[in-house]
């Protein structure tokens, strides 16, 4: 069952610790250290090239992207993102020798102008410019980073080699055969969801008149559901609700005379406002109405 965070009590709405790979990952995880101290919290182990390719492909990395690798090792993820996918990138690494090696590798690959490396603690890195964040860390480090990752711009993609994010389920996952990790590695990708939960004042023009309703949305990471409350009708549950980054979509069965008509809604969540369109097609043709919503309560 989805865990629900309801703002208003209205209506009835609403892995992998996997086998440890060889080398450093075969040892038990060291006890948690205070991350603020700038400690090496995960030992160095490179991601196999085939897995690097999968990580960047699964996130659909392209020239518009700014890829940040948290704990960048020898720089291979950032360098590949620049060289093979046309992105620009930043590697953040606490080990000074690995930072030096990464810069040399970037130079040798001819991408030093677009691949930067910084000696910095991953917990202190400003990720606000990132469109893609990559990681090959430990699960508990992923979980420590999770609150900050969830606060990044909606639509930012997070890709992890090997470890998951606890109950934040990935939007995509692939098992890759590789030379490391007993022959396989999980690659998982998450899209940072907009904060959509709360009570929204919904407006749409129908038959020349402005209609006002209330939409109450519940959210658990990228999973959402909700109820539309109107003055004249019983509350209607929204159907097949999806949230991908800032894009929300669902459909509603709306009574029109003696028929019930399916209306498909799409909208863009921008802070406390949603703006979108609803569409319906039947024998009489396609109809489109504009809708918007303003958050009243979270
Ligand atoms: C498992 S390696 C991954 C290297 C690279 N991302 C890859 O996939 O090939 C983890 C890296 O994180 C670095 N690291 C560990 N703790 C760190 C911290 N607090 N800040 C920055 N880098 C850190 C380690 O030095 C190591 O190079």
194 touches 188 (CB < 8 A): no
249 touches 233 (CB < 8 A): no
Nearest CA to ligand 1 atom 13: 71
Share above pLDDT 90 across residues of the chain, in percent, rounded to a whole number: 77
Residue to probe by mutation, ligand 1, list 38, 44, 92, 161, most atoms within 8 Å of CB: 44
Tell me the CA–centroid distance for residue 54 and ligand 1, in Å: 19
Nearest CA to ligand 1 atom 26: 44
Tell me the CA–centroid distance for residue 63 and ligand 1, in Å: 25
pLDDT tens digits for range 93-129: 999 999 999 999 999 999 999 999 999 999 999 999 9
Tell me the CA–centroid distance for residue 72 and ligand 1, in Å: 5
pLDDT tens digits for range 183-200: 899 999 999 999 999 999
Nearest CA to ligand 1 atom 11: 71
Tell me the CA–centroid distance for residue 5 and ligand 1, in Å: 35
Q: Rounded to the nearest 5 degrees, what angle is found at the Cα of 90, between the Cα atoms of 86 and 94?
A: 150
pTM assigned to the model: 0.87
**Residue 207: its pLDDT value, please?**
79
pLDDT tens digits for range 9-55: 333 332 333 323 333 343 345 444 443 448 999 999 999 999 999 99
**Residue 20: its pLDDT value, please?**
33
243 touches 194 (CB < 8 A): yes
CA gap 206, 127 in Å, rounded: 43
Residue to probe by mutation, ligand 1, list 37, 55, 73, most atoms within 8 Å of CB: 73
Crossing angle of helices 76-85 and 49-58, in 10° steps, is: 60
Domains and CATH numbers, the chain: 32-191 (3.40.50.150), 198-297 (2.40.128.120)
| pLDDT exceeds 60 at position 5 | no
CA gap 246, 194 in Å, rounded: 5
Tell me the CA–centroid distance for residue 212 and ligand 1, in Å: 51
From the centroid of its chain, how far is CA 152? Answer: 9
Tell me the CA–centroid distance for residue 60 and ligand 1, in Å: 23
Nearest CA to ligand 1 atom 27: 73
SS (H, E, C) the chain: CCCCCCCCCCCCCCCCCCCCCCHHHHCCCCCCCCHHHCCCCCCCCCCCHHHHHHHHHHCCCCCCCEEEEECCCCCHHHHHHHHHHCCEEEEEECCHHHHHHHHHHHHHCCCCCCEEEEECCHHHCCCCCCCEEEECCCHHHHHHHHHHHHCCCCCCEEEEECCCCCCCCCCEEEEEECCCHHHEEEEEEEECCCCCCEEEEEEEEECCEEEEEEEEEEEECCEEEEEEECCCCCCEECEEEEEECCEEEEEEEEEECCEEEEEEEEEEEECCEEEEEEEEEECCEEEEEEEEEEEEEC
Nearest CA to ligand 1 atom 12: 71
Exposed/middle/buried for 108, CB within 10 Å: 0-12, 13-18, 19+?
Answer: exposed
The binding-site residues of ligand 1, defined as CB within 6 angstroms of any ligand atom, are 39-42, 44-47, 69, 71-73, 76-77, 92-95, 98, 121-122, 136, 161
Share above pLDDT 70 across residues of the chain, in percent, rounded to a whole number: 87
Structure tokens at 61: 């990395």
272 touches 294 (CB < 8 A): yes
CA gap 226, 155 in Å, rounded: 21
Tell me the CA–centroid distance for residue 267 and ligand 1, in Å: 38
């Amino acid at each position: 069952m989805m865990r629900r965070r309801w703002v208003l009590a209205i209506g009835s709405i609403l892995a992998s610790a996997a086998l440890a790979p060889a080398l450093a990952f075969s040892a038990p995880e060291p006890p948690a250290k205070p991350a603020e101290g700038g400690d090496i919290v995960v030992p160095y182990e490179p991601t196999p090239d085939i897995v690097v390719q999968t990580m960047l492909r699964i996130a659909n990395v392209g020239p518009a992207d700014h890829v940040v690798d948290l704990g960048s090792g020898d720089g291979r993820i950032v360098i590949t993102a620049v060289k093979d996918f046309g992105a620009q990138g930043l590697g953040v690494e606490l080990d000074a020798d690995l930072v030096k090696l990464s810069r040399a590798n970037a130079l040798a690959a001819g991408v030093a102008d677009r691949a930067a490396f910084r000696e910095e603690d991953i917990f202190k890195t400003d990720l606000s410019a990132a469109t893609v964040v990559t990681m090959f860390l430990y699960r508990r480090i992923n979980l420590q980073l999770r609150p900050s990752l969830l606060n990044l711009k909606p639509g930012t993609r997070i890709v992890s080699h090997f470890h998951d994010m606890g109950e934040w389920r990935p939007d995509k996952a692939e098992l890759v055969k590789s030379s490391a990790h007993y022959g396989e590695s999980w690659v998982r990708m998450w899209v940072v969801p907009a904060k959509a939960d709360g009570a929204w004042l919904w407006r749409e023009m129908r038959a020349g008149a402005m209609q006002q309703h209330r939409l109450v949305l519940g959210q658990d990471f990228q999973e959402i559901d909700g109820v539309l409350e109107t003055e004249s009708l019983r509350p209607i549950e929204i159907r097949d609700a999806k949230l991908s980054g800032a894009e929300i979509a669902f459909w509603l069965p709306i009574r029109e005379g003696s028929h019930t008509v399916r209306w498909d809604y799409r909208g863009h969540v921008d802070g406390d406002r949603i703006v979108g369109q609803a569409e319906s097609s039947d024998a009489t043709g396609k109809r489109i109405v504009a809708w918007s919503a303003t958050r009243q309560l979270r």
